[in-house]
Amino acid sequence: MNQNVIIFIIELLGTFAFAISGIRHAAAKRFDWFGGYVCGIAVAIGGGTIRDVMLLTTPFWMTTPIYIICTAVALLMVAFFGRWMEPLKNAWFVFDTLGLALFTIAGIQKSLDFGQPFWVAIIMGCITGSAGGVIRDVLLNNEPVIFQKEIYAMASVVGGLVYWAGILLGMSVEFTVVLSFITTCVIRFLAVRYHISLPILKNETE
């Protein structure tokens, strides 16, 4: 499969997953449909936009309206099927994790496609996966999740390192993508399930 096609599919899936997450967060704050859409589109395209600006290329969502339409579909799903989604405990968390993993991979692949070294690609993957959530949390007046005790951005970094290792070992791109995706999701799920976190900084008075 063509590299650009793989990136497009991953970005589309990531857009939908992140849009669902952002819209559900907005629904919890009792935003109206427009507010929900703004939160959904912000989290869906925020990280990728920052990545593309840093790569000096046209932001991915400006090349086709499919990402805007995808977010609209996510809004309609939450609006009309929210009552059936609500019993799914922590559904927003699942979608957020899927979006993190998918956009991490998209960020890495696109950065490599632009000739960036792997260490830059991993950072770009982390930005692509995490920055949208920061924008969402700022809009919702919440503490950004990457600054909390939960492992979030680090799951993205580890997923990127697994991607790098897979390429160095000569694995196929398809298998490497799947392995990186599973790694990022598993780390995030286990961190939340078993309350695994990084050490907390303490000031001198504590």
In tens digits, the chain (206 residues) has pLDDT values of 566 777 788 778 878 888 988 898 898 899 999 999 999 999 999 999 999 999 999 998 999 999 999 999 999 988 888 776 665 556 667 877 888 998 999 999 999 999 999 999 999 999 999 999 899 899 999 888 888 766 889 999 999 999 999 999 999 988 999 999 999 999 999 998 888 888 887 776 65
Whole-number Å distance between alpha carbons of 155 and 34: 31
Predicted structure pTM score: 0.87
Q: Identify the bridge partners of residue 197 per DSSP, sorted by sequence position.
A: 150
Distance CA 44, CA 21 (A): 9
- Here the tokens at position 42 are 């912000």
